[in-house]
Amino acid sequence: MAKGVYDRTPKENNMASDETPQVPAASVEKQKLFPVILLKNYVPMADYQIVGHVKEAVKRKDAAGNWRIVEPEEFVEGEMKPYASPGVGFGATKAEDGTLLVNAKIWAGTTIKLPVDEAKRAVALKIAERADDIAA
């Protein structure tokens, strides 16, 4: 080679490998979901699963002025807690191309499962509290 000129050919040919790239095992597996109870309305950043909500007891006053429980408190599975004001909420909406979008906002009081990293962030920001057995 001439003086001042260096060899520009690469030592290894990485570009033309016949092997398929290896995908890390962590990205192939689905992220583990962690249960939290929302303290504030929240829009999840990633995949989530709605566990349910606690339906409050319905109380009425009788003629004597005593409070009677008409319907006891119960946990409703698989539903998002309805908002306190009727007519308010984000139902399933349609995008411009006609695809059906899921609920954008989840109301406070709903128990959901979030990916572990997002759940840690939500608990740290006091948006949610832990809903597992250890937290009790």
User: pTM of this prediction?
Assistant: 0.64
CA gap 40, 57 in Å, rounded: 21
Q: Is pLDDT at 18 greater than 50 in this prediction?
A: yes
CA gap 123, 106 in Å, rounded: 16
Q: What residue ranges do the domains of the chain occupy?
A: 31-83+99-130
Give the model's pLDDT for residue 28.
Answer: 47
* Range scoring the smallest mean pLDDT among 14-28, 52-66, 102-116, 117-131: 14-28
Q: Is pLDDT at 19 greater than 80 in this prediction?
A: no
Give the model's pLDDT for residue 30.
Answer: 74
CA gap 112, 106 in Å, rounded: 9
Q: Work out whether the CA dihedral 100, 104, 110, 111 comes out positive or negative.
A: positive
Q: Is pLDDT at 44 greater than 70 in this prediction?
A: yes
More confident residue, 15 or 66: 66
**Average pLDDT value for the chain:** 79
